[in-house]
Structure 1
Amino acid sequence: MGQLSTRETVWAIVKASSGNLVEWFDFYIYAFFSVYFAEQFFTGTGQTGAFMQAAGVFFIGFLMRPVGGYIFGRISDRFGRKDAMVVSILMMGFGSLCLAALPTAATVGAWAPVLLLLVRCIQGIAVGGEYGSTATYMSEIAQPGRRGFFSSFQYVTLIGGQLLASLLAVIMTHTLGGDQITAGWWRLPFVIGAVAALVSLWLRSGLTETTSKSDRHHEGAGTFREVWHHQRSFWVVFGITCIGSLTFYTFSTYMQKYLINTGGFSKGDVADTMPVCLFVFMLMQPVIGAISDKIGRKNSMLIFAVAMIVLPVPVLNAIGRQTSLFDAGLLIILAMFFLSFYTSISGIVKAEMFPAYIRGLGVGFTYAIGNSLFGGSAEYVALFMKQHGFGEVFPWYVTVVAVFGLIAVLFMHDNREHSTIDNPGGSAYGKRPATAS
């Protein structure tokens, strides 16, 4: 693949990231609308029991991400990034369409929660495969010297999908009301997600492939055995993913419940505030991504890791004591600013540690393991501690994980000298010689 012009690069980024936005929108509308349909699938448990079981299904979707990361990582490395992204968006759209048409317990009895779980597993696999494929593609298609800026749009669309899901929930709540949504309008967001997936499928079908035939036919292409020969890359990616995912879900999805449970703010006011915070967070991504192109990815990650050691305890405690939701929102945005030094370069910083023939699997599978363990569990761990009377321990838990994240960052190399994308022959990440078949 020759170097694309700026216009061609931008258009490729738009087409690739469109699927990322749709997949995360589809994944998160379940979280926002499950409060309306949970009791229709989980009967005989009461509202709290139904909410817990619906949340359990959401968490199982996270646990399926490593499966998706492995499957689509292999597809990405052996058949190309484009094929992996096309299949993942097709699978996610199919899952959304199935959710829109799922029968409830009133129709099929005990099969209703089983079918719900099955469909969410399909979506979990799809979104698990989306990250690695999109991260590697956007990192490779970006122009040298501007890879941080262009690849930051992965999290622009990731946050954007989450933001659109929350905005749709706010709009439908204010226009239709809870009773009508419960009566059947909860299916509409899943229909919207399925239609949006078709649009993204059309856009992605015209993508330019970034892998070469020799990389796809490499004897070790898409094998975990080959990934394991790059253990430094594996453990660094795993370490930074653990703290990155934990803090991302702490200051985005968990904040809604923290402001209600600990801050004492009303659900309606919090529902109106969090989209504003997410919007500001989204706008930060390309700015911080561009900064990483100037100061280097390792320096950006050092800023993030040190901030996540220093900030969680005082910031979370301060948010919990606020009487003004505006002030609490400013504190959340402060945390999101330093979090952006990770999210804006989350894809590129990992892609630059693996050679092309295992980049999809190395990034996608390794990320999915850390994300499912620490990202998917963040809200549950925080609520568990709160429920058992030691909620003040959670910020210290985040700090401890951040210490291990800092250790991982210290083992990184400066991408300006050791990027496997820009300097494939000069990487210091334990490259293992092998021949192409």
Structure 2
Amino acid sequence: MPSAQDTAPDRAVDDGRPPSRLRQLAAASVGNAVEWYDWYAYSFLAAYFADQIFPKSSGNSLVPLLSSFAVFAVGFFMRPVGGLVMGAVADRRGRRSALTLTILLMGGGSLLVALTPTYASAGVLAPVVLVIARLVQGLSVGGEFAASTTFLVESAGPGRRGLFSSFQYVSTSIGQLLASGIAALLAGQLSDRQMGQWGWRVAFLVGAVLSLLGLWIRRGAQETRSAERQAERPGLFEALRRHPRQSLLICGITVGGTIAYYTWTTYLPTYAQVNAGFDKGDSLTIGTLSLAFFAVLQPLGGLLSDRIGRKPLLLGFSLGFAVLAVPLLHLVSDAWISLLLVQCAGMVLLTGYTAIAAAVNAEVFPARVRAAGIGFPYSLTVAVFGGTAPYVGTWFAQAGNAGLFPWYVAVLCLVSFAVYLALPETARQPLER
């Protein structure tokens, strides 16, 4: 952990002038929301375009869906590369430069998804194009978390790192909310056939346009890396080489949070469809309502952590999911209210992690390698456990063992609980700039 002697005054800097806190929040949050809209639109619409891109197996109707989720997971495995490379850009060239580059990549990937040909028209080229698009987006998202996490926390005023940290997932939730809402709107206005033929492409075209808006807003952001730090040029693997303990700590902090997060915010609608016969359109509507509830909770969690510390929230989150993941997921049925209550209950528990994840991660590493130090181990853990959650859950269902997936979630949350017990409290320690 950085010492108090190494810290500079608690303010962001750009040519010597303190920036507007609101403007910094907007620059990080709006761009981040657009990034995550593009990323999550894929998951929400996979059930509609899977048959168009992947050939159907005569023996199993789940094969196209499994294939589309496999591509979803492939995109996640580019995230560690993005976290390392874009994190290094943020540490060497500044947080703002990295944020500009990540949103350009995401917009390009979204446009490529929208233009992906069908298997019927292009054969094997169709899934190849989709994989390339997801690799580009994975690179972008991996770098986005590294850069925006450091940018948000370094922009915070005294005693407000938890609050600023919460906007990482406020904006992520808004992006998901837009993706879920637009998917639900399209599903409600178009037939299943129209959605499968062309409706799903509309959402990705919208994402490409929104990326231009995010780029314009981010160009007005002020750099948070001090002038002395900007003169430094840390090596690509310096964080891993010089801070191996902190790198492992990020993995332990993240593993329970990422499996719970992607299960509850991304996979749960599909879980309800596959295991309880839930209607596609209704599950997307419920996902939209619960995401709005989740976004409102985040600043409250951030403020609470600034008052009582990070550890109580982390311990409450991890123990809550370790105990309740199995009974909650077993409560999912084809009743509308059951899915809504299960999803909202999980969102309350999840806030103990998501509201403060950015602050906790940023407080682990010194400023010199903060972005790359967070980006690689965080993104690697998310790729291994978060990105594969939809695939693992669907695979369990295909194998006739759907009941094992809730236990999988509970065990990983228990692992993080053990890490949180040993974690030092950092809420009131000064942050190195």
Same fold (TM over 0.5): yes
Query: In the alignment, is the contact (CA less than 8 A) between 1:95 and 1:122 conserved in 2?
Result: yes
| 2:351 is equivalent to residue 337 of structure 1 | no
* Number of positions where the alignment pairs a residue of Structure 1 with one of Structure 2: 419
Q: Which shows bigger deviation, 269-278 or 71-80?
A: 269-278
Query: In the alignment, is the contact (CA less than 8 A) between 1:73 and 1:222 conserved in 2?
Result: no
Query: In the alignment, is the contact (CA less than 8 A) between 1:29 and 1:166 conserved in 2?
Result: yes
The answer for the alignment partner of 2:41 in structure 1 is: 29
Deviation at 1:181, TM superposition (A): 2.9
The answer for the alignment partner of 1:147 in structure 2 is: 161
Query: In the alignment, is the contact (CA less than 8 A) between 2:239 and 2:373 conserved in 1?
Result: no
Distance in 1 (CA, whole Å) between partners of 2:139 and 2:346 is: 30
Distance in 2 (CA, whole Å) between partners of 1:74 and 1:294 is: 33
Q: Secondary structure at the match of 1:262?
A: helix
Distance in 1 (CA, whole Å) between partners of 2:399 and 2:381 is: 26
| 2:261 is equivalent to residue 248 of structure 1 | yes
Map 1:70-109 onto structure 2 (within 5 A): 70-109=84-123
Task: Name the aligned partner's letter for residue 227 of structure 1.
Answer: L
Q: Which one of 296, 307, 310 corresponds to residue 283 of structure 1?
A: 296
Q: Which runs of 5+ in 1 are unaligned?
A: 425-437
Distance in 2 (CA, whole Å) between partners of 1:364 and 1:200 is: 21
Distance 1:114-1:303 versus aligned 2 partners, 3 A rule: same
The answer for the alignment partner of 1:363 in structure 2 is: 374
| 2:375 is equivalent to residue 375 of structure 1 | no
Distance 1:226-1:49 versus aligned 2 partners, 3 A rule: closer
Percent identical across equivalent pairs? 38
Deviation at 1:22, TM superposition (A): 0.7
Q: TM-score, normalised by structure 2?
A: 0.90
Deviation at 1:41, TM superposition (A): 2.7
The answer for the alignment partner of 2:403 in structure 1 is: 392
The answer for the alignment partner of 2:200 in structure 1 is: 186
| 2:293 is equivalent to residue 293 of structure 1 | no
Deviation at 1:212, TM superposition (A): 1.8
Q: How much is the aligned-residue C-alpha RMSD, in angstroms?
A: 2.3
1:381-411 deviation per Cα after TM superposition (whole angstroms, max 9, x unaligned): 2232233233323222222222221221123
Deviation at 1:173, TM superposition (A): 1.6
Distance 1:380-1:107 versus aligned 2 partners, 3 A rule: closer
Distance 1:147-1:218 versus aligned 2 partners, 3 A rule: same
| 2:143 is equivalent to residue 129 of structure 1 | yes
Deviation at 1:333, TM superposition (A): 1.4
Deviation at 1:175, TM superposition (A): 1.5
The answer for the alignment partner of 2:20 in structure 1 is: 8
Deviation at 1:323, TM superposition (A): 6.6
Q: Which shows bigger deviation, 93-102 or 233-242?
A: 93-102
Distance 1:40-1:91 versus aligned 2 partners, 3 A rule: same
The runs of 4+ residues in structure 1 deviating greater than 6 Å are 4-7
Task: Name the aligned partner's letter for residue 36 of structure 2.
Answer: W
Deviation at 1:240, TM superposition (A): 1.5
Query: In the alignment, is the contact (CA less than 8 A) between 2:112 and 2:129 conserved in 1?
Result: no
Task: Name the aligned partner's letter for residue 341 of structure 2.
Answer: L
Q: TM-score, normalised by structure 1?
A: 0.89
Query: In the alignment, is the contact (CA less than 8 A) between 1:77 and 1:222 conserved in 2?
Result: no
1:307-331 deviation per Cα after TM superposition (whole angstroms, max 9, x unaligned): 12222123223x23x5743244223
Query: In the alignment, is the contact (CA less than 8 A) between 1:222 and 1:357 conserved in 2?
Result: no
